[in-house]
Amino acid sequence: MSTTFDLDRTAVFHSWSAQASLNPLSIDHAEGTTVFTEDGRALLDFSSQLVNVNIGYSHPKVVAAIQEQAAKLATIAPAHAARARGEAAKRILEHAPEGFGKVFFTNAGADANENAIRLARLYTGRDKILSGYRSYHGNTGSAVVATGDWRRVPNEFARGHVHFFQPYLYRSEFFATTEAEESARALQHLRRVIEGEGPTSIAAILLETIPGTAGILTPPAGYLEGVRALADEFGILLILDEVMAGFGRTGEWFALDGFGVRPDLITFAKGVNSGYVPAGGVIIDDPIAHHFDDIVFPGGLTYSGHPLAMAAIVANLDAFVAEGVIENAKTIGESIIAPALATLAAQYPSLIGEVRGSGVFWAIELVEDAASRTPLKASTMGMIKSRLLDAGLLPFIADNRIHVVPPCVITAEDASRGLGIIDEVLGSL
C-alpha cells in the first residue's frame, strides 16, 4: 500500500510552492495541541496549522456537533432557512459590536473579503479599495490584489486597488523614533494617499486589525482610531479583516475589541469554528444590510452557510464560552508568552530584533545583527525550522520570523515547554 507521502507527491498539487522540492510532513491524527505524524512522532503545535485551530484538535463537542448535523441534514442550499445557520449567525452577532445585525456566510476568509469589497462598492457607488502593503487578505480575485505582499504581483487581475504603508516602528517607512511619531506619520501618509487618489473614488479602506502573516504588527495607540476618523471625514467605509486575529487569537473575541474602533464591515473565518469545516463570512453593519432590503445583492455561494460548518461554529463558540477559551488565551499571553519572549530578547540581543503580540498571537523577529536589522537569511530560518521539528515542535515560520501561535486552549505547561524548545534552538545558533 502506498504511504501518505507517496500518495501526496504523486497526485496533490500544493499551494504557494515549487512542486518538485516539497517534503511535506505526513500527519496521521491530532488531539488537543498535539499532532502525530504517520511515523509516530508527536509534535506540540505552535502554528495552529494556519493560525486557525483555535480550540485545538478533536474537540469532542465540535466533532459530535458535526456528526449529529451530518446525520440530520448534511447539506442544504443557502436559499433555504436552516436551524444551524441561524444559530451560528446569532452567536457571532452576540460578540460583534452593537449595530451589526446580519451575517453573510462564505467558505473561507478570502471570499469573505471578496464579498466585503463587493458590499462596499455597491453601497457607496465607488470603486477603489485602499489596503496595506503589509497584509494578506486571501487568494481569490480581489482579495489577492488587496493583499500587499509578493503574492499579489503575479495575480494582479482585479481593478481599483491602491496600497499604502501601515505603521511598523521597528522598520519604519516614516523615519519615526517613537510609537506616537509612527502613528501620526502613517496617518498623514494615508491622508495624502486618499487625497491623491480622490476621496470620492474610494469605496473602502481594508485593513487586518492586526496584520498576521505580515508579522503580527500590532498597530500603535491611536492609529486605528485615526483611520476611522479619516474614513468618516471622506465618507469611506472601513473594513476590518479579522480572519486570523478574530475569535480568541488576541485574547479577545475580536482583535478590534482591544482598540475601541467600530468598522462598517468585519470579515472572519479560521477561528470561528477552528477550521473543522471550511467557513467564513462578513458581519454587516445595519445601514449596509438594510440598503439591500429592496435592492438585490448580486452575490452568492453554493455552500454559503453549509450546515456542517454552521454546526461546527455553534459548538466551537459555545465551547469558547463554557470552557473560558478566550480568557485562557489572554492569560497565557500575559503570564507565559510575554515574559518568556522578553527574556529571550534580552538573552539573544544580536539575534532577536523584536518580539511583539498579544494573547496567543506573537512574533519573534530574527536578524543578522541588531545594528543593521538585516533579516535573518532564509537558509538559517530553514535550519531553525528543521531543528524545532526535530525537538518536537511544529512551528509557524514566516520570512525571518517565528510566529508563536499555538491553539487558544494551550496550557501553561505546554506553552512553557514550547517556548523552552525555541530557547534551545536559538541558543544552538
The residue among 294, 322, 350 that closes a domain is 322
Q: At what angle do helices 307-323 and 83-94 cross, to 10 degrees?
A: 40
pLDDT, tens only, 18-71? 999 999 999 999 999 999 999 999 999 999 999 999 999 999 999 999 999 999
Do both 242 and 277 map to the same domain? yes
Report residue 1's pLDDT band, with 50, 70 and 90 as the boundaries: confident
Q: If you write DSSP's letter for every residue of 278-301 in order, what string do you get?
A: --EEEEEEHHHHHHTSSS------
- Whose CA is closest to 365, among 341, 382, 347, 343? 341
C-alpha 38/C-alpha 26 separation (Å) is: 6
pLDDT at 256: 98
pLDDT at 60: 98
Return the number of other C-beta atoms located less than 10 Å from residue 231's C-beta. Answer: 22
| 8 A C-beta contact, residue 246 and residue 275 | no
Whether the per-residue pLDDT at 415 is higher than 90: the answer is yes
Do both 227 and 261 map to the same domain? yes
List the domain range (segments joined by +) for residue 178: 62-322
CA angle 65, 303, 125 (to 5 degrees): 125
Do both 74 and 110 map to the same domain? yes
C-alpha 194/C-alpha 207 separation (Å) is: 15
The residue among 288, 322, 356 that closes a domain is 322
Do both 174 and 30 map to the same domain? no
Say which residue the cell 481594508 belongs to.
206
- Whose CA is closest to 341, among 405, 390, 386? 405
Do both 123 and 67 map to the same domain? yes
Report residue 2's pLDDT band, with 50, 70 and 90 as the boundaries: confident
Q: Nine-digit cell at 224? A: 486605528
Do both 10 and 87 map to the same domain? no
The residue among 300, 322, 344 that closes a domain is 322
Do both 230 and 374 map to the same domain? no
pLDDT, tens only, 262-282? 999 999 999 999 999 999 999
Do both 390 and 275 map to the same domain? no
pLDDT, tens only, 201-260? 999 999 999 999 999 999 999 999 999 999 999 999 999 999 999 999 999 999 999 998
Report residue 354's pLDDT band, with 50, 70 and 90 as the boundaries: very high
Query: On the CB side of 93, how many CA atoms lie within 13 Å of its CA?
Result: 17
Do both 263 and 354 map to the same domain? no
CATH code for position 24:
3.90.1150.10
Number of domains forming the structure of the chain = 2
Q: Nine-digit cell at 355? A: 518580539
- The bridge status of strand 34-37 relative to strand 27-31 is antiparallel
What does each C-alpha distance from 247 to 33, 242, 251, 379 come to in angstroms?
Answer: 17, 8, 8, 34
Edge-to-edge strand list for the sheet holding 352-358: 352-358, 361-366, 401-404, 396-398
Do both 71 and 206 map to the same domain? yes
C-alpha 38/C-alpha 44 separation (Å) is: 15
Q: What is the mean pLDDT of residues 326-346?
A: 98
Across all residues in the chain, what is the average pLDDT? 97
pLDDT at 418: 98
Do both 380 and 400 map to the same domain? yes
pLDDT, tens only, 103-136? 999 999 999 999 999 999 999 999 999 999 999 9
pLDDT at 375: 98
Do both 182 and 107 map to the same domain? yes
C-alpha 63/C-alpha 276 separation (Å) is: 8
- The percent of residues in the chain predicted with pLDDT above 90, rounded, is 99
